[in-house]
Structure 1
Amino acid sequence: MIIYKEISKLNKKFRLLNEEKILLGTDGSVTNILEILFEDICKVETINQKIVDNTNYREVILKVNDIPLVYAISKTPFKNIEEENLREEIKKDLLSADIPIGKIIRKYNLETRREIKSIGIAEVDERLKTLLKTNYNQLPKRTYNIIYKNKILMEITEIFAIRGKL
């Protein structure tokens, strides 16, 4: 997938904000971009979390200045983290604290890369509208993998609700 071409096609249909294009196409930390755009610390509010078959499923809202900006679902198969100490530390951070994934990666100085799997538009239901405090029926969405030591560390889907909040 050629990212800028996918974003260009999506822009023709949806008229993306420049900030949305950046968030959709970045292969870096979304947390960092949100902190730069909104000039304050990004916090996580966990909506739901469970471990099934040694895989952590986490549903969160990323907020800056208590403004909900991103809805995200992450899937972390712990078996893909070979180092036992690191696996337990990451598991502890995911389960016990509302820490953004970008900050967990930075905390443990992990050399990772992001592979974007898909970019599109999400239909936003009433539950998400309430969580994101938005009236938009459609919002930009992407799914990507975070790769660590050639294995999928996490799969993340994000829906961006920055329209009207900048």
Structure 2
Amino acid sequence: MHRYYGRHPFAAEELPFRRDGFIRAGAITGLAGERLALSQLPPFLRALLATDGTVTKILEAYFWEPLVVETLEQRLETATEPVPWLEIERGDRCMLRDAQLRGSESGRCFAEAFSLIRIEFIPDDFRQRLIDREIGIGVLIRDSGLESYREVLDIGLDRLANGESAVFRTYRIIIARRPVILITEYFPLALYGKP
């Protein structure tokens, strides 16, 4: 949860890909301050950063392979600092979930995702399926028929646990007009073609 502490809400006009999938002079920045023009990213990777749809289905169509969501860790944690992106206050309980999207045939990891979830604001049946790690969050939302809205909050460069370079996007899912889920997805550059 600490990765979201100290992050302040943006004004709507500052959000990446708020209205358009094209940002002429757009660039992403890494932890060390390095910048990479969005135009230098492979086209499919740019599409992944901009989409407000379910990434699992997009990846399945692109790589032409069914994906499985492998939950690496899932736990409840109490916030020690506010997380404005989800309206979390110090002392609020949230669910944290680390997962990988893997090809069911190749075993390749196409994406890693870290989720922060306000479980008290999601319906009981949805919550139970989430806790049971039945399927991925996006598929679960679609299958449950929940009306939701996704809003990309941040994009950038980072490193995965294995040291590989990756691009990421952080977005929140709004359900019943309340921000409920915050997800950061990482896409390894080596897999999608280095710029």
Verify same fold: TM over 0.5: yes
Structure 2 counterpart of 1:5, which letter? I
TM-score, normalized by length of structure 1? 0.81
Structure 2 counterpart of 1:99, which letter? I
Task: Give me the identity figure in percent.
Answer: 28
Tell me the number of residue pairs that the alignment of Structure 1 and Structure 2 aligns. 152
Residue segments in structure 1 that go unaligned for 5+ positions in a row: 82-86, 130-134
Asked whether the 8 Å contact 1:144–1:157 carries over to 2, the reply is yes
**Which string of whole-angstrom CA distances, capped at 9 and with x for unpartnered residues, describes residues 97-136 of structure 1?**
2411111011111111111110111133xxx22xxxxx73
Inter-partner Cα distance in structure 2 for 1:159 and 1:37: 17
Map residues 1-166 of structure 1 onto 2, 5 A cutoff: 1-3=15-17, 4-5=22-23, 8-10=26-28, 11-12=36-37, 15-53=40-78, 54-64=93-103, 65=105, 66-81=107-122, 87-124=123-160, 128-129=161-162, 136=164, 138-161=165-188, 163-164=190-191
Asked whether the 8 Å contact 1:43–1:98 carries over to 2, the reply is no
Asked whether the 8 Å contact 2:96–2:114 carries over to 1, the reply is yes
Q: Residues 147, 7 of structure 1: CA spacing in aligned structure 2 closer, same or farther, 3 A cutoff?
A: farther
Structure 2 counterpart of 1:38, which letter? F
Inter-partner Cα distance in structure 1 for 2:111 and 2:57: 13
Structure 2 counterpart of 1:149, which letter? A
Larger Rg: 2
**Which string of whole-angstrom CA distances, capped at 9 and with x for unpartnered residues, describes residues 12-45 of structure 1?**
2783111110111101111111111111222111
Write 1 or 2 for the structure with the bigger share of helix.
1
Asked whether the 8 Å contact 2:167–2:189 carries over to 1, the reply is no
